[in-house]
A = this chain, B = another copy of it.
Amino acid sequence: MHAQIDALEAVPGGRTIFRRRHLKADGRELFLYGCAPPAGDPIGAELAASPDAACEIRRHPLRGDQAIYAAGRQARTFMPAAADDPLAPATTGGAPTEIPFPDFEIAVFENRFPSLSAGAPLAPSGPAGVARTPARGRCEVVVYGPQAEGSLATLPPERRELLVSVWADRYRALFERGFAYVLPFENRGVEVGVTLPHPHGQIYAFGETPEPQRRAAEAFAAGFDLAARIEDWRRDYEIARAGGVVAFAPPFARFPYEAWIAPAARRAGPWAFDAGEVEAFAHLLGDMTRRYDAVFGRCTPYMLTLHAAPAGDAPDYHFTAQFYPLLRAPDRLKYLAAVEQATGVFTVDVLPERAAAELRAR
């Protein structure tokens, strides 16, 4: 069997990483990324995707926002037994898996239960007066390693750095396929609805830039200078700094203990990092996760999203990674309830400057 392996320059001046492309039995793409060329023949049984269900976007005529309807997802995997972990490396004669290889460093594959897909059909007819479009896009799963347990805090530094380079490569690859906006993210913890405990993230590539991301691009184009603000906010809001990268509590946080990581100098996305920024950003991803778990004395449920520039020219855009933890105290979940869901106005019980001080002290 011929394996297609590409050597990639991870970042300007960075080291070389390797990407191996494998076509799964049901036609989905799988990429193995490694610091060494991913070797070996595929083994084991593979999980197969369900046939494309209707997957469409409808626009809310009063709010202006969008909902994706993906009826095929209702049957998705829910807290499998450990022996059925679909993100584990394959074993001969073992349970079917998504990654038919005996070992890997980082694996990326197309989601078996996508919300967005390249060829999604529209339902044959729709409701009067409601704008509908196919939910064009691509959903990928990013598996951080072969181990079924762990977190960004416990990954070895070189694996976290590889992850940053993988994100940079996925941005490039998905922009090349014509998608308008690429959102790498991680949901952590059962409280956020995570159905697979195996450490992993996901990527949604959207056909259209979502509204808040479009607004952010406009704010940067209109002159919002995050690099200057990061220095202004240093005393009261900074949590940690490594190399040219800073972790801080944004003074306008929507979540108690919300924290952002950003290069101190403007970069449009991880693809524009230099080697030192990759290392520092990777370090702070682990460091922030560790700080959260220390402040709350438990595995902190959070949502992590990466906010890079949309496709095309956005010369003023400043990349941030944003952690939204779901706790307001060790034993108190932060709920998003009626007011937040109806008005978009968040109520926050913890001032960002206090959250920054607590996280800084860890």
Contact = CB atoms under 8 A, between A and B. Distances in A.
Contacts of A170: none
Nearest to A131: B252
Contact of A251 (B115, B127, B229, B354): B127
Interface string A225-241: 00011001100110000
Interface in A65-102: 65-71, 73-74, 78
Interface string A299-335: 0000111010000000000000010100011001101
A343 B345 CA distance: 15
A151 to B, nearest CB: 15
A178 B137 CA distance: 46
A251 B130 contact: yes
A9 interface: no
Interface size class of A (residues with CB under 8 A): 35 or more
Could you say how many copies of this chain the assembly holds? Answer: 2
Contact of A343 (B64, B183, B347, B352): B183
A187 interface: yes
Which of A186, A202, A215, A220 has its CB near the most chain B CB atoms (within 10 A)?
A215
> What 7 pairs between A and B have smallest CB-CB spacing?
A193-B335, A127-B251, A210-B343, A185-B338, A128-B232, A303-B338, A305-B342
Interface of A: 54, 57-71, 73-74, 78, 115, 123, 126-130, 183, 185-187, 192-193, 202, 204, 206, 210-213, 215-216, 219-220, 224, 228-229, 232-233, 236-237, 251-254, 303-305, 307, 322, 324, 328-329, 332-333, 335-339, 341-354
15 contacts: A62-B215, A62-B219, A63-B212, A66-B345, A67-B346, A71-B349, A73-B349, A74-B329, A127-B232, A130-B252, A187-B338, A193-B337, A212-B343, A304-B338, A322-B342
